[in-house]
A and B are shown apart, each in its own frame.
Chain A
Amino acid sequence: MGSTSAFSRRAALRGLGLSLGLPLLPSLATKSVRAASAETSNIPRRMAFIFVPNGVHVPDWTPQQTGFGYELPFTLQPLAGVRESVSVLSGLTHDRGRANGDGAGDHARSASVFLTGSQPRKTDGANIRSGISVDQIGAQKLGHLTRFPSLELGCERGQGAGNCDSGYSCAYSSNISWASSSMPVGKEVDPRLAFERLFAGGKKSDVDASQGQRLALRRSILDYVADDAKTLQTKLSGNDQRKMDEYLTSVREIERRVERSRLSNDAVLPNHGIEYPVPQGVPSDYAEHMRLMCDMVVLAFQTDSTRIATLMFANAGSNRPYKNLDVPDGHHELSHHGGDARKHAKIRKINQFHIAQLAYLLQRLRSIPEGDGTLLDHSMICYGSGLSDGDRHNHDNLPLLLCGGGGGEITSGRHIRYEGETPVCNLFLSMLDIMGAPTDWMGDSTGRLSGLKV
C-alpha cells in the first residue's frame, strides 16, 4: 500500500511540475547510480542520523567477534529482534573532534564534528564556524524531491546560558546539522510542533478553495520581504550582509515549500492511509519523548515528506539523570567515571536505554511494507556518539551503528572493524552515494568506506 501511493503521488507531482514549468525533477532519481532490482530502484532511499552524548562504556559496546553472527554485547542487546538489520562499525575516527591545539571542550566538539567532520572554531561569541553536515549536503542535493529537504529533531532544547563547554558556543553542543560552515540548523524538540509542521492542514477538509488564495498571499509576502532584505543588504557590510544571506536563504526555501504544497494539496497523512494522533507537547517521560521523535522520523519517511533526518537524543555533555534506570547521577558527571566499576555499570545502563529507543525506531521502520521489502530496507540509520569513552574524551574508535538496508546497498547484520583512524566522513561519502547524492569530499574524508556490501 505504502509504496503504490508514494509512487503514484510522486509521479503526479512530476507531471504537475512539468506542466507548471518547474525544473524537471530527476526522473526516478537515482536509478543510474545503483544496480538493484527494478522494483527496489523506484523506491526512494532515506537516511537518518541519531546522536547520543558523552560516549559509551566501550567494553560493553564492541562485539568480540567480527562478521556475521557476532554475540550482542550488553549495551546492544535490545537490538536482538532487529539484529539482522544492524551493523556495528568499529575503528572509525573523527580526527577533527580532537583538540588539535584547541585545548578542552571535547563534548562540544563531539556534537559539532559528528556529522560535519570539521574542526569547530573555538569561540563562544562571534564567528562560530564548523562545516556543512552530511545530512545537509544530501538535503541540498535531494531536497527538491520532497516537501521538506530535511528534518532536524532533538529531545533537549539548546542551553539557555553560559558558554557550553570550555569556551565553545552552545551552538556547537546543541546542533549536529549545519547548513553551512556558519549556520547550524535549528532543531525541533516538541513532538506536537514537529507533527504540525510536517502535516499541518493534513486533513482533507482543511483544503478548500480559499487555500489557493492564502498561498498566493503568502507568496506575495515572501516576495516583499525578500525584496526588503535585498535592499537592506546594500546598506550593510560584512557580518550584517551574511545575516541577510541567511534570511534570504530561508525565504527562498519557504517559497519553494509553498510552491510544493500548492502542488500536492497537502493532505499527506490521509493520502497514505495513516491515522496518527496529534502529539500533546513534550511528554514528561523521557523515553516517551524519544519514541515520539522516532515516530516523527518514521511518519516523515513513510509519507516521503523528507528523506533525510537528524535526531539528538540529548545535547552534547547532557547531565540529565536517569531516574527511571535508578541512576540519579547526571550523565555527563558519570561519564567521567575514572575507572570506577559502579559508574561503568550506570553508564552502560544509560547506553542500553538509548539503544532500546533505537530498537523501537528500527522495528517501526520494519513494520512498514514498501516494495518487496520494508521501509527499513530502504533506509540507513546511522547511530552513535562523537566521543568514544566519556572519561578519556577520545574521538577514535567511535561507537557507531549503521542500520537498515540502504535499498540493497548495505549488507547488514555484521560487525566490521576498520583500520584505526579511518575517517567517519568516508562512511558519510558512501551513504551519500547510496542516497544518489554523491560528492567528492566532505570534512576530513579520504575516500569511500569499503566493505558495506558483500
Chain B
Amino acid sequence: MFSNAGHHSVTKIVSCGLAIAFAVAIGSASRSLVAQDLAAQAPVSQTAFADTIVPFMENHCTMCHGESDGEGGVNLASLSSAEAIRSNTELWETVIRLVSERQMPPSDEVQPGDEEIASLVKAVHSELAAIDCAGVSAPGRVTIRRLNRAEYNNTIRDLLGVDFRPADDFPADDVGNGFDNIGDVLSMPTLLLEKYLGAAEQIVDRVWLDIELRERIYSSLPDEPVAKVEAIRVAFRKFADRAFRRPVGDEEFARLFRVMEFAFSQGASEEQILKTGIQAVLVSPHFLFRAESDQGEGAVDGIRPLSDWELATRLSYFLWSSMPDETLFELARSGQLHEPQTLIQQVERMLDDVKSRALVDNFAGQWLQLRELSRLTPDAEKFPQFDDALRQSMRRETELFFETLLKEDRSILEFLNADFSFVNQRLANHYGIEGVEGDEFQRIGLGAGRRGVLTQASILMLTSNPTRTSPVKRGKWVLENILGEPPPPPPAGVVQLEEGAEVLGTLRERMEQHRTNPTCASCHKRMDTIGFGLENFDPIGAWRSEDGKQSIDPSGDLGGGVTFAGPAELMEILLEQKSEAFARCLAKKMLTYALGRGVTSSDRCAVNTIMDDLQKNDYRFQTLVKGIVLSEPFLYRQAKDKE
C-alpha cells in the first residue's frame, strides 16, 4: 500500500483532471452556473488538492485508513479528486478537526508538523468554502415515517379526544441517529400491526362510550335512510380528511366507504358499521404513515416544494408530535402556510401552545437522554437517599430548564452556563440548597459550583455507573451530545483499561494510564479531562469534595495553556471556546429530529444558514426553531429516490 503511494497519486491526478473536464463539458443548461463555478475554481483547488491534501493523506493517514475496511470504517484512499471533499463534508470536517486537535494520527505514529497541519486545514477549508450554496439545491429525501408511540398517542388524543395512551403497550420504536422518529428505522413488524388493529377497536369502543366524543364525528343523523347514509358519508369523509391530514380523493373515499357498505351487507348493527369505518381509517397506511408523494406538483430538477398539507404535518409533528390543528389545516386549505411570515407566526403560536411540551418530552428527552433515567438503578447501599421521587425530580429539573430556555426565547448558550435552575424541596436537599419547601418546582439562582445543564443531577447520573462515577462516560457524553465532536472508536483489539474497583491509587491516578499509552492518549486526553472536571459530582449528582478517602481534584489541563480549577471554570471554557460547536451540534440534532432523517453533507448549506441566523440573533432558541422550519430540507423534497 504505502510503497505504491507515488504511483497511485499520479493516476489519481490524471483521472480527476479528466473528471473535471468532463463535468464542465456536460454541465446542463439549468446547472450552468454550477458548471462555471467549477470551471473557475477547479484549477486552483485542484492544485491545493494535489500539492497539499494528497501528500498529507499518504504520509499520515492511508496506512491505516487506506482500505475499504480501513480502521474505524474510515477510508481516505478512495479520494480521487477535490470533488470528493465536497461530497463528504462531514467526513472532512472530522478529519481536519481530529488532525488539528492532534487526536489523529495517534501519538505513536509520526506526527505532522504544525505548518503541515495548518496548510492541510487551509486547503480543506478552501475546498469546503468553495461549495456554492446559492447554486445547488439539495433538500434530501425523508423516508415515509410511521407514527411512533408518542406520536400515535398524541394523534389519537387530538383526532378523537380519547387520551388513554394506547401506544404505551406497543413495542419500543427503534432508534436511529439518536431519535425514535427516523423514517428509515421505524419498521412495521406484524406484532405492531396487530397492536394497531387491537388499539383501533379499543379506541372506537371508548369513543362510543362518550356521547360527546361520538357526536364530534357523527352528530344528529337523520332518520330517513337515504338522508342518513348521505349524512354519514359527509361526516365520515370529514373525519377521514382529518385523520389522513389532507383532503381525501373521491376514488379513495369510495374505497374507504366500501368497508362500511360491506359491514352493512353482513348484517352488522349501525353502531358496528360506523365503528368499522373508523377502525379502517385508524389502521390505514395513510393514517399510520406520514407519506409525502413523489408525484407532487411544482418539481424542478426533481426537487419540489412540499404542499401546504404536507408542511402542516411536518410542522405539527416537529413541534407537537401530533397532527395539525384546525388553524394549520385552514392555512393549508387557503394555501398560505408556506409563506415565511405565516410559518414564523405559526411557530410562535405553536410553541406557546401547551402541546409543545412534546418537544421537551421527545426532543430533549432523547437529545439529553432524559428518558434513560427511568432505567437506571444507583446502588441502594451507597446511595440510600436515592428513590423514585428523586429520580423524577432530576428529570423534571432538566425538562423545566429546557422548556424555559425555549419559551422565554433565551440564548441556547445558557445550556452551558446558566446560573439558574429549578428545584423542589427534594432536589434542593439533594443539592444542599436551603429554603425550598414543597413538591412545587421553583426557579433558583445557583451557587458557585453549578452552571448549566451539565451540572444537573439528571445528566450526571445518566453518565455514571451504578456504584461510581465514570469520567470517561461523562467526557464522552459531553463530546458527543454537547460539542458534536464524538471521539473516534477505540482501535480494534485495544485492551480495556481497568477503570473501576479499589485498586491502588485514585481513579485519576489510574486513568493516567490513558495518557501513557499513546494509542489511547490522543483521544482520552480531552475525554478524561472533561470528565474529571465533573468529579465534584457523585454518581447521583450530589456535590462532594471527597470520594471515599481520596480528596477530589477537579482541575484539568485541556492543552494549549487552557486550564481550569473546577466545574464552573470548565463550563466557562466551553462557553468561550466551544459556543459555535455547541450551537452547531444542537442545530444538527434538532434538524435530525425535525426531518426524521440523519443530517448529511448535503445539508451543510442549510445548517450554515441556520448558524448565521443564530449568531445574528444572540443564539436565541426560537431563532433556531424558526431557522429549521424555514430551511430548504424542511420546506422541500427531492422527489425521486436516486437509487
Shortest distance from the beta carbon of A270 to any chain B beta carbon, whole Å: 22
CB distance from B288 to the nearest CB of A (A): 8
Is A228 at the interface (CB under 8 A from chain B)? yes
Query: Cβ of B187: which chain A residues have Cβ within 8 Å of it?
Result: 183-184, 186, 243, 246
Report the bound CA distance from A232 to B293 in whole Å: 8
For A128, give its contact among B176, B180, B193, B640 (CB under 8 Å): B176
Asked if residues B169 and A193 are in contact (CB atoms below 8 Å), the reply is yes
A124 touches B176 (CB 8 A): yes
Q: Does B497 contact A (CB under 8 A)?
A: yes
Q: A100-B69, A224-B259 are in contact. Are A186 and B178 (CB under 8 A)?
A: no
Query: Could you tell me which residues of chain A, from 220 to 248, have a CB within 8 Å of some CB in chain B?
Result: 220-221, 224-225, 227-229, 231-232, 235-240, 243-244, 246-247
B175 touches A163 (CB 8 A): yes
Alpha-carbon separation in the docked complex, A220 to B261 (Å): 10
Q: How far is the CA of A132 from the CA of B141 in the complex (A)?
A: 27
B241 at the interface (CB under 8 A from A): no
B334 close to A (CB within 8 Å): no
Cβ contact within 8 Å between B258 and A126: no
- CB-based contact A169/B174 at 8 Å: yes
B276→A169 contact, CB < 8 A = no
- Indicate whether A31 reaches chain B with its CB closer than 8 angstroms: no
Known contacts A243-B183, A247-B193; A162/B266 CB under 8 A: no
Residues of A within 8 A of B179 (CB): 161
Instruction: Say how far B139's CB is from chain A's closest CB, in angstroms.
Output: 15
How far does the alpha carbon of A228 sit from the alpha carbon of B188 in the complex, in Å?
16
Q: Is A338 an interface residue (CB 8 A)?
A: yes
* Given the contacts A170-B175, A183-B189, A224-B258, A160 and B366 also touching, CB distance less than 8 Å: yes
A343 sits at the interface (CB 8 A): yes
Whether B259 and A221, one on each chain, are in contact in the complex, defined by CB atoms closer than 8 angstroms, is yes
Contact check, A235 vs B295: say whether CB atoms are below 8 A apart. yes
Q: Are A104 and B489 in contact (CB under 8 A)?
A: yes
The range of chain B's interface size is: 35 or more
Could you tell me if A104 and B193 are in contact, using CB atoms closer than 8 angstroms?
Answer: no
A365 interface residue per 8 A CB criterion = no
A444 to B191, CA, bound (A): 29
Tell me the chain A residues, 94-114 only, with Cβ under 8 Å from chain B.
99-105
- Please judge, given known A-B contacts A125-B597, A179-B189, A328-B466, whether A240 and B69 are in contact too, CB under 8 Å: no
| A84 interfacial contact with B, CB 8 Å | no
Report Cα–Cα, A217/B382, bound state, in Å: 58
- The residue on A at minimum CB distance from B381 is A328
* Contact string against A for B residues 65-103, beta-carbon threshold 8 Å, 1 for contact and 0 otherwise: 001111111000000000000000000000000000000
In the complex, the chain B residue whose C-beta lies closest to that of A331 is B466
CB distance from A232 to the nearest CB of B (A): 6
Cβ of A422 within 8 Å of any chain B Cβ, yes or no, is: no
What residues of chain A lie closer than 8 Å to B191, measured between beta carbons? Answer: 152, 185-188, 197
Q: Does B184 contact A (CB under 8 A)?
A: yes
How many of chain A's residues have a CB under 8 angstroms from any CB in B?
83
| Given A187-B171, A340-B498, CB of A250 within 8 Å of CB of B192 | yes
Contact check, B67 vs A232: say whether CB atoms are below 8 A apart: no
Q: What distance in Å separates the Cβ of A196 from its nearest Cβ neighbour in chain B?
A: 9
**Beta-carbon contact of B178 and A329 below 8 Å:** no
What separation, in Å, do the CA atoms of A333 and B466 have in the docked complex?
A: 9
Smallest CB separation, B105 vs chain A (Å): 16
A103/B492 contact (C-beta < 8 A), A126-B597, A152-B191, A243-B146 known: yes
User: Is A159 touching B193 in the complex (CB atoms < 8 A)?
Assistant: no
**In the complex, A158→B372 CA distance in Å?**
11
B182:A126 contact, CB within 8 angstroms: yes
Are the CB atoms of B284 and A238 closer together than 8 Å? Answer: no
Contact B641 A254 (CB under 8 A): no
Q: Are B185 and A169 neighbours in the complex by a CB distance under 8 Å?
A: yes
- Cβ < 8 Å to B, chain A residues 32-53: none
Q: Which of B497-542 contact A (CB under 8 A)?
A: 497-501
Are the CB atoms of B175 and A160 closer together than 8 Å? yes
Nearest residue, chain A, Cβ from B477: A162
List the B side residues contacting A338 at CB < 8 Å.
496-499
User: Is A103 touching B641 in the complex (CB atoms < 8 A)?
Assistant: no
Contact of B175 among A161, A247, A321 (CB under 8 A): A161
- On whether the beta carbons of A328 and B171 are closer than 8 Å, the reply is no
Contacts of A99 in B (CB 8 A): 492
B256: chain A residues at CB < 8 Å are 224
Interface flag for B143 (CB, 8 Å) = yes
In angstroms, how far is the closest chain B Cβ from the Cβ of A333? 5
Given contacts A103-B489, A236-B144, A238-B641, is CB(A160)–CB(B180) below 8 Å? Answer: yes
Q: Is the CB of B380 within 8 A of A323?
A: yes
Q: How far is the CB of B282 from chain A (nearest CB, A)?
A: 9
Q: Is the CB of B185 within 8 A of A328?
A: no
B180 contact set on A, CB distance < 8 A: 160-161
Cβ contacts under 8 Å, B345 to chain A: none
Measured CB to CB, the closest approach of chain A to B571, in angstroms, equals 23
Residues of chain B with a CB closer than 8 A to A320's CB: 377
**What residues of B have a CB within 8 angstroms of the CB of A328 in the complex?**
379-382, 466-467
A333-345 interface mask toward B, CB cutoff 8 Å, 1 = contact, 0 = none? 1001011101100
Residues of chain A within 8 A of B262, CB atoms compared: 217, 220
B55 contacts partner chain A, Cβ-Cβ < 8 Å:
no
> Which B residue's beta carbon lies closest to that of A343?
B501
- Which residues of A lie under 8 Å from residue B259 when comparing CB positions? 220-221, 224
Q: Are A124 and B178 in contact (CB under 8 A)?
A: yes
B291 at the interface (CB under 8 A from A): yes
B contact residues around A224 at 8 Å (CB): 255-256, 258-259, 280, 284
**B174 pairs with A170, CB closer than 8 A:** yes
Asked whether any CB of chain A lies closer than 8 Å to the CB of B409, the reply is no
Which of chain A's residues have a CB closer than 8 A to the CB of B556?
none
Cβ contacts under 8 Å, B372 to chain A: 159-162
Q: How far is the CA of A336 from the CA of B494 in the complex (A)?
A: 12
> Closest CB of chain B to A266's CB: distance in Å?
15
What residue in chain B is nearest A237 (Cβ atoms)? B641
A216 in the interface, Cβ–Cβ < 8 Å? yes
A127 adjacent to chain B (CB < 8 Å): yes
Chain B residues, Cβ within 8 Å of A236: 144, 291, 293-294
CB of B433 within 8 Å of the partner chain: no
CB distance from B532 to the nearest CB of A (A): 18
**Neighbouring A residues of B333 by C-beta, 8 Å:** none
State which of B184, B192, B279 has its C-beta within 8 Å of the C-beta of A239: B184
B335 within 8 A of A: no
Q: Which chain A residues lie closer than 8 Å to B39 at the CB level? A: none
Whether A330 sits at the interface, judged by CB under 8 Å, is: yes
- Encode B120-157 as 1/0 by CB contact (under 8 A) with A: 00000000000000000000010110100000000000
A104: B residues at CB distance < 8 A = 489-490, 492
Contact, CB under 8 Å: B366 / A254: no
Q: Which residues of A contact B193 (CB under 8 A)?
A: 247, 250-251, 254
Whole-angstrom CA separation of A330 from B605 in the bound complex = 43
Give, as a whole number of angstroms, the nearest-CB distance from B259 to chain A. Answer: 5
A179 to chain B, nearest CB (A): 7
Are the C-beta atoms of B174 and A184 separated by less than 8 Å?
yes
Q: How far is the CB of A431 from chain B (nearest CB, A)?
A: 23
Once the chains are docked, how many angstroms separate the CA of A231 from the CA of B467?
A: 55
Closest A residue by C-beta to B145:
A243
Q: Is the CB of A163 within 8 A of B189?
A: no
- 18 additional contacts (CB under 8 A) given A179-B189, A240-B294, A333-B500: A101-B70, A104-B492, A122-B73, A124-B176, A124-B178, A159-B172, A161-B372, A167-B489, A169-B174, A216-B266, A218-B197, A239-B641, A246-B188, A249-B190, A254-B193, A328-B381, A328-B466, A336-B496
Pairs A–B under 8 Å by Cβ, sample size 14: A101-B67, A101-B73, A125-B182, A158-B172, A160-B175, A160-B372, A162-B369, A170-B175, A184-B189, A221-B259, A232-B286, A236-B291, A244-B285, A321-B379
- For the complex of A and B, the 7 pairs showing the least CB-CB separation, nearest first, are A101-B69, A238-B641, A186-B171, A338-B498, A104-B489, A126-B184, A158-B172
Interface residues of A (CB under 8 A from B): 99-105, 122-128, 152, 157-164, 166-167, 169-171, 174, 179, 183-190, 193, 197, 213, 216-218, 220-221, 224-225, 227-229, 231-232, 235-240, 243-244, 246-247, 249-251, 253-254, 319-321, 323, 328-330, 333, 336, 338-340, 342-343, 391
